[in-house]
A and B are shown apart, each in its own frame.
Chain A
Amino acid sequence: MKEMLIFILKRLGWSVFVLIGLSILIFCIARIIPGDPGVMALGTRATPEALEQYRIDNFLYESLPRQYIHWFEGAVKGNFGVSTQTRREVALDIKEFLPATLELILFAAILEIVGGILLGALSARYPGEVIDNSVRVASYLGIATPAFVWAIMFMLIFAFVWPILPAIGRIDVPKPPPYTGFLLLDSLLAGNLIAFWDAFKHLIMPGTALALTGVAQAARMTRTSMMENLSKDYVGAEIAAGIPMRRVILQYVLRPAATPTVSIVALDIAAMLGNAFLVEVIFSYPGISKYGINAILNKDLNAIVAVVLVIGITFLIVNIIVDIIASYLDPRIRLQGGDS
């Protein structure tokens, strides 16, 4: 347990360094772009006085490192400036939109892990049979098809041709009281099953679209590492000892075989965080990615910087969680103290 704690602390310290670096990077990109940030924020018809005031308020006359320090001081307190789109504090916008995206990504990640490990285990158990070959073909198609194409296809099929799922939005019935911002959790806390079912139906299409690319890859990964483990001596010994195959797989092979899959899922969540930008737009899903796309299209700099940072933080936390799970599954990782 002590090694685990040191391991987690090390990762956290490292993440703080990376985050500061990332914020410098994004801040510099946002400041070196051509064009006057004042005009971008206030529009071309702003009065010179208003522009002047904006420049003073945002420290635009100071040197770049000083501007960054001012921004950093604000950011630590949770102040990312005002969004030119919503004319609100960016922090408020993020608070409103982030839970929706987290809920979506989490849903997709669970789909991917369960689906990937299940399909992978099945195709390792029955190599060369129908299930194995279908997973192989699906993995090629899955990798070659971007999430936004899946999203559009699902929309065409399940919302128009055979309308069984809602096409847009997050919920159609009255929202449950926002305890956490996660609709599924909130509606359960409020005991509102109608809202739960409605929110769940809204998650199915975007969640599956995000997960599909990864499911096939995770399945392939699980298959490879299960095949490897199945050919090891300990499995032979267990079979010779008369332990039923089902139990050998579930109890002994699945755990070591799942470790590489879990690492793959971390990479896939990165892809999901990126793809969510398109999928949320397609399904008009009110998450932080849709907000981010609007910010990008309107050059809303404060919002872009904040969204990128929040995504970076999310990704770092995901990585830490995945490392913890991996080191739980495979104690060797923990004892070596992890890399980096």
Chain B
Amino acid sequence: MTVQKHEYNTESVTSRNQARISGFKRSWYMFSRNKISVVGLVAVSFMVLLALFERFIAPYPSHAGPYVDFANANIAPCKEFLFGTDQYGRDVLSRIIFSIRNALTMGIGVLCVAAPIGTIMGLLAGYTKGRLISTIIMRVVDIFLSLPSLVLALAVSAMLNPTLFNSMMAITFSWWAWYARLVYGTASSVRNEYYIQSAKLMGAGLGHIIFREVLPNCSSTILTKMTLDMGIVILMGAALSFVGLGEQPPNPALGTMIADGYKFLPNMWWLTVFPALAIMMIVLAFNLLGDGISDMLNAGEV
């Protein structure tokens, strides 16, 4: 792929505001160079809108809870119920729309806790490389990563009561170590740079050095990993709720819907196929967006 040459005339920038605008334009150019990323952005925005305004968008908002209407149970997709109804007569489309919020909450919640914890650990271990504290942190990280994340998350959530919050905790518990290892690599490679030594000489404390001097080196890799992880975390959440360890019925969750529905294959295929497609779409959208963001943030390095 050949990169079109664009001139960004920095000398003609006269104000801070103008610089900001031209910086934004440049980022947008980097992001939108690949049209697929824009598709991802549109799809993710659409899902966020669905999640925010679920009550107004879903055709039957009351069907997201303990609603029973046996007269309308097991209806195949038709004009009235686009994705059909389940064995209790609830509209599958409405339940999917409501479960998107759970999926997004899961992804955002896990990453917003796991990434900072992992980052702090990684910064600390990377900056103090060679000392005891660094060794301890990284050995603990190794132990956490010695088990497939999904297995660790399953084991932890098995010990807790099955709720959405607890399944988020379980995934966070098995996820932070990836960030620690990622940040450790960058942090340990920059710790001997001159600007860090000079900060140390000027009497800067540990907090200042790791957050103000070392962290900016890692921020783009962290952000890239976070956007790419969003899809994986949502998948893990779906897997946990599929087993019955996430959001509990009658509240809607994509994994639970599939787990309930696949027992009715092949006759009532719509109970399984539509939630499965919804998971695929959500994860695909986040992966596309993540690729775009990684193009944008790492543009200077390519």
Contact = CB atoms under 8 A, between A and B. Distances in A.
Contact of B158 (A22, A144, A271, A296): A296
Contacts of A30: 159
A145 interface: yes
Interface size class, chain A: 35 or more
A143 B155 contact: no
B262 A152 contact: yes
Contacts of B154: 274, 277, 292-293, 296
A240 B40 CA distance: 44
Interface string B111-148: 00000000000000000000000000001101110111
Interface in A242-283: 270-271, 273-275, 277-278, 281-282
A296 B142 CA distance: 24
B155 A308 contact: yes
A18 B146 contact: yes
Q: Which of B143, B242, B243, B279 has the most C-beta atoms of chain A within 10 angstroms of its own C-beta?
A: B143
A299 B269 contact: no
A135 interface: no
Interface in A186-234: none
A25 B146 CA distance: 11
A96 B258 CA distance: 30
Interface string B36-64: 00000000000000000000000000000
B147 A315 contact: yes
Interface residues of B, number: 41
A146 to B, nearest CB: 5
Contact of A148 (B242, B245, B269): B242
Contacts of A239: none
A144 B284 contact: yes
B147 A22 contact: yes
B276 A152 contact: yes
A21 B135 CA distance: 14
Given A18-B142, A144-B231, A297 B243 contact: yes
A340 interface: yes
A146 B241 CA distance: 13
B77 interface: no
18 contacts: A19-B146, A29-B155, A30-B159, A145-B276, A145-B279, A152-B272, A270-B148, A274-B150, A274-B151, A274-B154, A277-B150, A278-B243, A295-B158, A296-B154, A296-B158, A296-B243, A312-B146, A340-B142
Given A141-B280, A277-B150, 19 more contacts: A17-B139, A22-B146, A143-B231, A144-B279, A144-B280, A144-B284, A145-B283, A152-B276, A153-B273, A156-B265, A156-B273, A160-B265, A277-B243, A299-B158, A299-B159, A304-B155, A304-B159, A308-B151, A312-B147
